[in-house]
């Protein structure tokens, strides 16, 4: 039997010439699980061609475990491409010794699993692009590559806290997440409230939220920042646009998923108020719960109100249930408005036919060159691009700029100082570049992102109007 | 008044889905005196399995999906029996209860992994049929669910009281040791009970999927809770009781939703349950001189 | 270290939750109401420290008292029924309490912001530990003082005549009654002690997570409360602790490196554990 080293080099050769993992990172060489147990990766310094066939004892390989990249693989069409990539990887590998770790976390289990998968894919895709462009520049002028660790918090408060403490214990400089507002609440609570307050023992780690959207969370801590759309601005603009576009419509009726923090807050303190501010008359609202299945009574109330606009503040599962019941009872409002979070694939999976025409303001659609490219890159990492995952993508590029501007040392001893610098850098930002244009940032750490209106059209979300 | 009637009839009709789940809980409890908490999850899991047929046969009619769910339900029921009951000795009554909790979590998570947690559109039958009498409306698809639950009840009662398997099942349920002494294979009877309830569950899951219009792992928790409440109100082990209680709970909650709002709705269902526990602890159809 | 201290906090709080169900299970009653007492303790203590400005220790005492009082009040009617009926009755009670907190608003202005529970949006900023500069390690020690205290008291109960009475009722109610044991008194007292322990656990939970909302205290938490003593075994209090370590340290955090497999293994390993050790991880005699 050949020694482990021989087996390894054979495996490397076979991988380079036949099949490559789909999520081929530029400088790490993850082998398919089949070839090596536990999805081992070769660190970049072993990859230059002369060492490709070198006999390397397994015991000499440091950090073999590669939790970063998922193990799905796909066919790579030509051997030439594979070899080319390997060459490219090895040549730039010399230049980059150091890594800056960014942690991501969100829900990858339970009904919100798709959010975590998409955010992780977007972060990996963004890191991939940044690393291909040469990584990030550190204070001493050297360049470092970005590495992502993604953690699953199951959308559970205690697990979110555990994950944060875990990330705090690693050399991750900043964290991007979480998915759920009910995780973000306690999480921001355990962070230090005021920076530099020695009497406050909260954790000191910058968190830059991509998904959790409930209004007004970032003010809980000065270490918390968000890049989530501002629903107030978006719905304000949407109702204003509706008013000018259709002067004949006058009344609005709401539907709200009452027991979910985000949907509830969005109806009562956003949609309802914004509709009234635009001169609509709000006739009332029906309520249901997150896991309700029977909407007959609520839709009957809706039918009686006979409003011109029906605005549904609910997540895809009940949105679909209500839309199906509306179809059954023959409720056909002139305009149907949905919740930001429902402008995702989920709604179309569940009820494309009934959702036809539903208008939703969103902070992402592939309308610019950058946005299309981002969506394509994310698709390569098996994630869908929507307003949530593309916020994770933007966060990565914002963080790259912040890291370069703040002069991060990136050395193991300076982790805490670097975290502080990133926090201060994030706090200083008043504008960032996003995929759709410029995002304004306020002093509480919230964003005011550019947005557009999409509507469901033949099983796809298509841009209806771009107010910018 | 029309509002009240409409809400009550909507609720009673939707209660048929609770009734279908209640039948399964009550049957297992009636025969084995054990609680299978994974039942609602298994039923939804079976309904999801029915969707697999659409992968191979995209134009499959709804009945093919339902049939696949029915068969998958039986298989899953048998697997739940093997993993949660077969190997656990009777002297530890709490262990199978906990094992079914583990199974519930496992089934939910398998569904989430297969679908990324996204709701799945479910083929419907008669969902465009609306019987109208003036302003009053009745959903056609829920009438079908109601008819199926009654058919299930008749089928199960016939099975229990007209077949040798039913005789053996009732014998095991009354006195397992004596039944064993008479040559009845208790393990086999128990396994058959799980397969049969699984089949009913698969059908129930498919019909629930069809009447809701979409499947999501979100369905399992409320169905488990409502199914248990229905079982207790109907009388443990009573199949007609489960159906009547299902309709009652459905109608009751919808009427209270109309008058008291959705946030208080379930509080009143709990109060109804308390009223039953205090005034009629045996349930609507209390078993005569039943043990336990 | 921060992470391990945090994990030890979680284990401590969940051990209290498990112990509250443990003592009720000794009398043979399966209760799904422990999450409700936990919620009551959490809201009581949180409101006392945030709104009334109390120190945490008396607030925890108040949480324990309200938990115990509610448990005692619920014990009388609920314990008339047993078996599955009790499971469903206590489940209904637990859901009722959760729905109560779902509809519960009580906010006061503090500076420019309003604090206190706000229905479906929850109760945020319960930051007694952080505001008073307690480090994660200190919080962990604080929590474990209560855990050890509860374990010691329950251990002592177990060893005393009272424990024998509890187990006698759990083994065979009829036999226990025939030797002159007052069933109601025994069951209600066990429920009350359980309520107090759950109240303490809830009070600590509110402060170490800093934010509580009704959804935290649902059926799943109630299921975990009884799962710990059952998975661990009813031989003694260490069974519950062992089960909490098994679930929180191994299944939740320990398997994290397995990625997506972790979630699937969670349920599967509980099934496996029950098949291999039906008497519980730590149980010797019959459960």
pLDDT digits (tens, 9 = 90+) for B239-250: 899 999 999 999
- List, in sequence order, every residue forming a beta bridge with A136; answer none if it has no partner: A144
pLDDT at A54: 35
User: How far C113 CA lies from chain A's nearest CA (Å)?
Assistant: 10
| Among candidates A287, A345, A352 on the partner chain, residue whose Cβ is nearest the Cβ of B263 | A287
Query: Pairing between strand A136-137 and A143-152?
Result: antiparallel
Provide mean pLDDT across the span B189-216.
92
Burial of B71 (0-12, 13-18, 19+ CB in 10 A): middle
How far out from the chain centre does Cα A43 lie? Answer: 27
Residues of B with Cβ-Cβ distance to C91 under 8 angstroms: 225, 228
CA closest to C30 among chain B residues: B94
The token duo for B151 is: 């058919």
pLDDT > 80? residue C37:
yes
φ, ψ (nearest 5 deg) of residue A309: -120, 135
Neighbours of B154 (CB within 10 A): 12
> Which chain A residue is nearest to residue B106, measuring alpha carbons?
A110
Q: How much is the pLDDT for C284?
A: 64
DSSP class per residue in A87-125: HHHHHHHTT--EEEEEEEEE--SGGGHHHHHHHHHHHHH
**pTM for this predicted structure:** 0.86
C270 in B contact zone (CB under 8 Å)? yes
Note the pLDDT of residue B290. 45
Q: How far is B258 from chain A (nearest CA, A)?
A: 7
pLDDT at A328: 87
Q: Chain C contacts of B106, Cβ < 8 Å?
A: 264, 266-268, 271
Torsion of CA B270, B271, B276, B277, to 10 degrees: 70
| C264, C269, C278 member nearest B110 (Cβ) | C264
A320: chain B residues, CB-CB within 8 Å: 119, 213-214
pLDDT of residue A366: 87
User: Residue B252 — pLDDT band, cuts 50, 70, 90?
Assistant: very high
Whether A64 shows a pLDDT value over 70: the answer reads no
Position B237 confidence tier, pLDDT thresholds 50, 70, 90: confident
Residues of A in contact with C262 (CB under 8 A): 152
- Is the CB of residue A404 less than 8 Å from the CB of residue A393? no
Residue A101: predicted pLDDT: 94
Asked if B261 is an interface residue toward chain C (Cβ–Cβ < 8 A), one would say no
Reported as a single tens digit per residue, the pLDDT across A157-181 is 999 999 999 999 999 999 999 999 8
List, as ranges, residues 271-290 from B with C-beta within 8 Å of C: 271, 273-274, 277-278, 281
Our CA-based measurement puts residue C275 at a distance from the nearest CA of chain B, in whole angstroms, of 6
Q: How confident is the model at residue C79 (pLDDT cuts 50, 70, 90)?
A: confident
DSSP string, C241-260: HHHHIIIIIIIIIGGGGGTT
Residues in chain B: 292
Q: Which residues of C fall within a CB distance of 8 Å from B94?
A: 25, 30, 230, 287
Contacts of B24 (CB under 8 A, 6+ apart): B36, B39, B43, B197, B198, B200, B201, B204, B227
Q: Which residues of B touch C273 (CB under 8 A)?
A: 102
Judging contacts by C-beta atoms under 8 Å, the chain A residues touching residue B121 are 349-352
Q: How far lies C49's CA from each of A135, B9, C127, in Å?
A: 48, 48, 9
> Three-state SS for C212?
strand
The closest of A275, A263, A459, A453 to A364, measured between CA atoms, is A453
Instruction: Tell me the two tokens of residue A289.
Output: 């719960």
pLDDT digits (tens, 9 = 90+) for A376-392: 999 999 999 989 999 99
Q: Which residues contact A136 (CB under 8 A, 6 or more apart)?
A: A100, A130, A143, A144, A145, A146, A400, A403, A404, A408
Instruction: Give C149's Cβ-side CA count (13 Å radius).
Output: 11
pLDDT at B137 over 90: no
CA nearest B227 in C: which residue? C88
Q: What's the rounded Cα separation, in Å, for the pair A33 and C93?
A: 49
Q: For residue A201, list chain C residues with Cβ-Cβ distance below 8 A.
A: 129-130, 132-136
State the pLDDT confidence band at B288, using cuts at 50, 70 and 90.
low
Instruction: Give the containing element (helix H, strand E) for B120.
Output: strand B120-121
Counting Cα atoms < 13 Å in the Cβ hemisphere of B216 gives: 31
Minimum mean pLDDT among A19-33, A346-360, C88-102, C222-236: which range?
A19-33
Tell whether the torsion through CA atoms of B215, B221, B225 and B228 is positive or negative.
positive
In C, minimum Cα distance to B276 occurs at C89
Higher pLDDT, A451 or C113: A451
d(CA A153, CA A177): 10
- According to DSSP, residue B287 is labeled P
What's the full length of chain C, in residues?
Answer: 287
Min Cα–Cα distance to chain A from C42, Å: 14
Q: Closest to A321 (Cβ–Cβ): which among B7, B212, B263?
A: B212
Of A111, A289, A296, the CB nearest to B117: A111
pLDDT for res A5: 41
Subunits next to B (3 or more Cβ pairs <8 Å) are A, C
At A299-321, the pLDDT tens digits run 999 999 999 999 999 999 999 99
Taking CB atoms and an 8 Å cutoff, what residues of chain B touch A330?
A: 130
B127/C contact by beta carbon, under 8 A = no
Question: Is B162 an 8 Å CB contact of chain C?
Answer: no
- Residue C250 contacts B, CB cutoff 8 Å: no
Order across the sheet with A136-137: list the strands.
A136-137, A143-152, A98-106, A174-176, A207-209, A224-226
What are residue A224's phi and psi, to 5 degrees?
A: -100, 130
Residue C53 · residue C176 · CB < 8 Å: no
* Pairing mode of beta strands B120-121, B130-133: unpaired
pLDDT at B64: 92
Residues 6+ apart with CB under 8 A from C180: none
What are the chain B neighbours of A350 within 8 Å (beta carbons)?
118-121, 213-214, 216
Tens-place pLDDT, residues B64-99 = 999 999 999 999 999 999 999 999 988 888 899 999
Q: Tell me which of C1, C3, C143, C251 to substitute to probe the interface with A (most A C-beta atoms closer than 10 Å).
A: C3
Q: What is the DSSP letter of B213?
A: S
For all residues of chain C together, what is the average pLDDT? 92
A397: Cβ contacts below 8 Å, ≥ 6 apart: A126, A130, A433
Report how far residue A339's alpha carbon sits from residue C66's, in angstroms, rounded to the nearest whole number: 40
pLDDT at residue A37 tops 70:
no
Q: Does A264 touch chain C (CB under 8 A)?
A: yes
Helices A316-329 and A296-305: angle between axes, nearest 10 degrees: 60
C contacts of B229 (beta carbons < 8 Å): 88, 92
Question: Tell me, what's the pLDDT at A397?
Answer: 95
- Kindly report the backbone phi and psi dihedral angles of residue B47, in degrees, each rounded to the nearest multiple of 5, phi listed first: -60, -40
Please count the other Cβ atoms lying within 10 Å of the Cβ belonging to residue B175: 12
Give which of A254, A316, A251 is closest to A456, Cα–Cα: A316
For B130, nearest residue in chain A (alpha carbons)? A328
CA distance A272 to A291: 23
A159 contacts in chain C (CB < 8 Å): 252
Q: CA-to-CA distance for A363 and A275, rounded, in angstroms?
A: 19
Nearest Cβ partner of C102 from B102, B108, B263? B263
Whether residue C89 is predicted with pLDDT greater than 60 in this model: the reply is yes
> Taking CB atoms and an 8 Å cutoff, what residues of chain C touch B87?
275
- Listed in sequence order, the DSSP H helices in A142-271 are 157-169, 181-190, 231-245, 261-266
Percent with pLDDT over 90 in chain A: 58
What's the pLDDT tens digit per position in C161-213?
999 999 999 989 899 999 999 999 999 999 999 999 999 999 999 999 999 99
Please write the tens of the pLDDT for every residue from B25-64. Answer: 999 888 888 889 999 999 999 999 999 988 888 888 889 9
- State mean pLDDT over A289-301: 90
Chain A: closest CA distance from residue B93 (Å): 29
Contact across the interface for B98 and C268, Cβ inside 8 Å: no
Q: Which of B7, B11, B121 sits opposite A349 (nearest CB)?
A: B121
Chain B residues 179-218 with CB within 8 Å of chain A = 208, 211-214, 216-218
Mean pLDDT score, A98-116: 92
What are the percentages of helix, strand and coil residues in chain B, rounded to 5? 75, 5, 20
Residue of A290, A324, A346 with shortest CB distance to B118: A346
- Write the pLDDT tens digit of every residue in B274-283: 888 878 888 8
Look at the block and give the residue holding tokens 């989430």. B112
CA–CA min distance B31, chain A (Å): 30
pLDDT at A53 > cutoff 70: no
- pLDDT tens figures, C147-157: 999 999 999 99
Confidence bin at A28 (pLDDT 50/70/90): very low
Residues of chain C positioned with their CB less than 8 A from the CB of B93: 287
Q: Which pLDDT score, from 0 to 100, does residue A90 have?
A: 45
Task: For an interface test with A, give the residue of C119, C130, C212, C261 to mutate (most A CBs within 10 A).
Answer: C130
How much is the pLDDT for A58?
35
Across C15-111, where does the E strand assignment appear? 108-110
Query: Does A168 reach chain C within 8 Å, measured CB to CB?
Result: yes
C 149-188 near B (Cβ less than 8 A) = none
User: Between chains, do C80 and B263 touch, taking CB under 8 Å as contact?
Assistant: no
Q: Which two tokens stand for residue C117?
A: 């529970």
CA distance C129 to A20: 50
| Per-residue pLDDT tens digits for C234-275 | 988 999 999 999 999 999 999 988 888 888 999 999 999 999
A385 Cα to chain B: minimum distance (Å): 15
Structure confidence at residue A55 as a pLDDT band (50, 70, 90): very low
Reply yes or no on whether the pLDDT at A72 is more than 50.
no
Does pLDDT of A207 surpass 90? yes
pLDDT at A16: 42
Average confidence score pLDDT of chain A? 81
Closest CA to B142 of B10, B5, B251, B3: B10
Is residue B243 left, alpha or beta, with left meaning phi > 0 and alpha meaning psi from -120 to 50? alpha
Instruction: Say whether pLDDT at A455 is over 90.
Output: yes
Neighbouring chains of A at 3+ CB pairs under 8 Å are: B, C
Q: Does C223 touch chain B (CB under 8 A)?
A: yes
As a whole-number percent, the residues of chain B with pLDDT over 90 amount to 53
Going by C-beta distance under 8 Å and a sequence separation of 6 or more, which residues neighbour residue C199? C37, C38, C40, C41, C44, C63, C64, C65, C66, C67, C68
Higher model confidence: residue C77 or residue B229? B229
What local confidence, expressed as pLDDT, does residue A25 receive?
38
Tell me, yes or no, if A258 comes closer than 8 A to chain B by beta carbon. yes
């Amino acid at each position: 039997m050949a020694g482990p080293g021989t087996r390894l080099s054979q495996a490397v050769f076979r991988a380079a010439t036949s099949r490559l993992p789909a999520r081929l990172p530029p400088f790490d060489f993850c082998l398919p699980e089949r070839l090596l147990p536990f999805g081992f990766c070769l660190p970049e310094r072993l990859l230059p061609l002369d060492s490709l066939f070198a006999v390397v004892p397994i015991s000499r390989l440091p950090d073999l475990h590669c939790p970063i990249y998922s193990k799905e693989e796909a066919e790579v069409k030509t051997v030439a491409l594979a070899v080319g990539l390997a060459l490219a990887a090895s040549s730039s590998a010399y230049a980059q010794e150091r890594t800056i770790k960014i942690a991501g976390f969100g829900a990858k289990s339970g009904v919100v699993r798709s959010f975590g998968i998409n955010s992780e894919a977007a972060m990996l895709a963004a890191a991939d692009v940044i690393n291909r462009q040469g990584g990030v520049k550190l204070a001493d002028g050297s360049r470092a590559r970005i590495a992502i660790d993604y953690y699953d918090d199951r959308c559970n408060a205690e697990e979110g806290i555990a994950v944060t403490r875990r990330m705090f214990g690693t050399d991750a400089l900043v964290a991007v997440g979480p998915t759920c507002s009910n995780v973000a609440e306690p999480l921001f609570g355990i962070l230090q409230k005021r920076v530099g307050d020695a009497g406050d023992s909260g954790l000191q780690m910058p968190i830059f939220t991509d998904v959790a959207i409930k209004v007004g969370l970032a003010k809980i801590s000065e270490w918390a920042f968000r890049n989530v759309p501002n629903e107030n601005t978006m719905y304000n603009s949407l109702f204003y646009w509706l008013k000018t576009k259709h002067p004949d419509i006058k009344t609005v009726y709401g539907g709200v998923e009452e027991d979910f923090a985000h949907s509830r807050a969005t109806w009562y303190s956003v949609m309802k108020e914004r509709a009234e501010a635009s001169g609509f008359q709000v006739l009332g609202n029906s309520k249901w719960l997150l896991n309700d299945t029977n909407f007959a009574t609520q839709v009957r109330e809706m039918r009686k109100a006979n409003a011109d606009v029906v605005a549904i503040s609910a997540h895809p599962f009940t949105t679909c249930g209500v839309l199906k019941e509306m179809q059954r009872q023959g409720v056909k409002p002139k305009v149907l408005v949905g919740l930001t979070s429902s402008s995702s694939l989920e709604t179309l999976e569940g009820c494309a036919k009934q959702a036809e025409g539903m208008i939703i303001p969103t902070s992402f659609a592939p309308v610019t060159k950058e946005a299309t490219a981002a969506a394509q890159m994310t698709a390569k990492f098996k994630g869908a691009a929507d307003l949530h995952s593309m916020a994770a993508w933007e966060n990565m590029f914002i963080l790259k700029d912040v890291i370069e501007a703040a002069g991060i040392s990136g050395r193991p001893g300076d982790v805490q100082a670097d975290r502080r610098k990133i926090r201060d850098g994030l706090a200083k930002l008043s504008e960032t570049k996003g995929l759709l244009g410029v995002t304004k940032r306020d002093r509480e750490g919230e964003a005011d992102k550019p947005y557009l209106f999409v509507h469901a059209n033949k099983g796809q979300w298509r841009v209806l109007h771009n107010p910018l | 008044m029309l509002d009240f009637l409409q809400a009550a009839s909507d609720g009673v009709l939707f209660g048929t889905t609770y009734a279908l789940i209640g039948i399964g809980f009550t049957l297992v409890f009636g025969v084995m005196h054990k609680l299978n908490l994974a039942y609602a999850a298994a039923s939804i899991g079976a309904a999801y399995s029915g969707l697999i047929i659409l992968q191979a046969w995209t134009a499959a009619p709804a009945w093919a999906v339902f049939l696949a769910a029915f068969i998958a339900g039986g298989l899953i029921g048998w697997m739940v029996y093997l993993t949660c009951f077969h190997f656990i000795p009777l002297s530890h009554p709490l262990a199978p209860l906990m094992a079914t909790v583990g199974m519930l979590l496992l089934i939910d998570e398998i569904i989430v992994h297969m679908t990324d947690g996204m709701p799945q559109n479910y083929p419907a039958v008669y969902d465009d049929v609306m019987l109208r009498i003036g302003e009053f409306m009745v959903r056609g698809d829920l009438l079908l669910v109601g008819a199926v639950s009654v058919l299930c009840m008749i089928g199960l009662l016939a099975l229990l009281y007209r077949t040798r398997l039913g005789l053996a099942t009732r014998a095991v349920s009354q006195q397992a040791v004596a039944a064993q002494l008479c040559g009845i294979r208790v393990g086999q009877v128990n396994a058959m009970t799980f397969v049969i309830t699984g089949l009913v569950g698969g059908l129930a899951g498919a019909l629930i999927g069809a009447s809701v219009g979409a499947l999501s792992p979100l369905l399992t928790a409320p169905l488990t809770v409502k199914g248990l409440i229905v079982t207790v109100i109907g009388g443990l082990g009573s199949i007609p009781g489960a159906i009547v209680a299902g309709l009652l709970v459905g109608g009751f909650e919808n009427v209270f939703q109309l008058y008291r709002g959705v946030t208080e709705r379930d509080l009143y269902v709990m109060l109804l349950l308390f009223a039953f526990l205090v005034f009629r602890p045996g349930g609507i159809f209390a078993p005569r001189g039943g043990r336990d | 270290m921060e992470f391990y201290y945090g994990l030890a906090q979680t284990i401590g709080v969940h051990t209290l939750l498990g112990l509250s169900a443990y003592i009720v299970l000794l009398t043979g009653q399966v209760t799904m109401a422990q999450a409700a007492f936990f919620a009551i303790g959490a809201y009581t203590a949180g409101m006392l420290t945030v709104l009334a400005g109390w120190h945490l220790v008396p607030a925890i005492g108040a949480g324990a008292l309200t938990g115990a009082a509610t448990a005692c009040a619920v014990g009388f009617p609920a314990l008339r029924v047993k078996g599955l009926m009790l499971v469903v009755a206590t489940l209904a009670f637990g859901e009722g309490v959760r729905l109560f907190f779902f509809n519960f608003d009580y906010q006061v202005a503090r500076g420019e912001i309003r604090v206190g529970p706000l229905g479906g949006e929850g109760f945020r900023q319960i930051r007694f530990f952080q505001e008073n500069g307690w480090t994660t390690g200190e919080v962990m020690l604080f929590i474990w003082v209560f855990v050890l205290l509860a374990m010691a008291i329950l251990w002592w109960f177990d060893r005393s005549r009272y424990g024998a009475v509890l187990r006698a009722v759990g083994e065979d109610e009829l036999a226990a009654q025939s030797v002159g044991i007052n069933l109601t008194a025994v069951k209600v007292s066990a429920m009350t002690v359980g309520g107090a322990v759950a109240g303490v656990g809830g009070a600590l939970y509110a402060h170490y997570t800093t934010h509580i909302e009704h959804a935290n205290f649902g059926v799943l938490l109630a299921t975990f409360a009884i799962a710990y003593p059952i998975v661990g075994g009813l031989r003694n209090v260490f069974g519950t602790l062992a089960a909490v370590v098994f679930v929180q340290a191994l299944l939740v955090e320990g398997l994290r490196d397995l990625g997506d497999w972790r979630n699937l293994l969670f349920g599967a390993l509980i099934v496996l554990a029950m098949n291999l050790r039906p008497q519980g991880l730590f149980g010797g005699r019959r459960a």
